[in-house]
Amino acid sequence: MITQEKLKELVEYFPETGEFIWKVSKGPNKAGSKAGTLSGDYVRIVIEGNNKLAHQWAFLFMKGYIPELIDHKNRLGIDNAWENLRESTNQKNLQNQKKKKSKSGYSVVSWNKKAQKWYVQVTNADGIRKSGGYFPYIDLSLAVDKANSMRALYHGEYAIVENFSRYIPPIDELNK
């Protein structure tokens, strides 16, 4: 494993942008060139045979260690600016993940066919589901607001905040 000292000899990390620049020329990597390649939704950098994600290298560069989990506050895996990174736990990281959208188009807001209403339900830090209640079809914006306030309450700084787009899916689509 590469130490913080060795890492700083080989690359420069720019906390404001999250970019890494090679300090030395080695193989195809030329001094002064940008380090890393896009790998899915993340940037990956191989340093002396050690293949890691850029946010892991950023933590080693800044703090001297690589935590078990690192969260991107804005949920963009390619944004490795230091202010966007934070050490996390699995539970907290899950709270900040992009969720699979429901028929409403918003996470934790679903359509209840039987009641013919929007239903808000958030899982707290202990894994316990908390109900935010039911909302009439026309009040999707209120359901989204309730979901945002509940996520803020139960997820704190890891809460996802979604903006209501004014689009309400047709009822016949919701009841399919």
Verdict on whether the full-model pTM lies above 0.75? no
Show pLDDT as tens, one digit a residue, over the chain (176 residues): 899 999 999 999 999 999 999 999 988 899 999 999 999 999 999 999 999 999 999 999 999 999 999 989 887 899 999 999 999 877 666 666 655 567 888 889 999 999 999 999 998 878 899 999 999 999 999 999 999 999 999 988 888 888 888 889 899 989 98
Beta-strand runs (E) in the chain: 11-14, 19-22, 37-39, 42-47, 50-53, 70-72, 85-87, 109-112, 117-123, 129-136
Radius of gyration of the chain (CA): 21
Structural domains present in the chain: 4-88 (3.90.75.20), 94-174 (no CATH)
| CB contact set of 166 (below 8 Å; sequence gap of 6+) | 141
Residue 93: its pLDDT value, please? 65
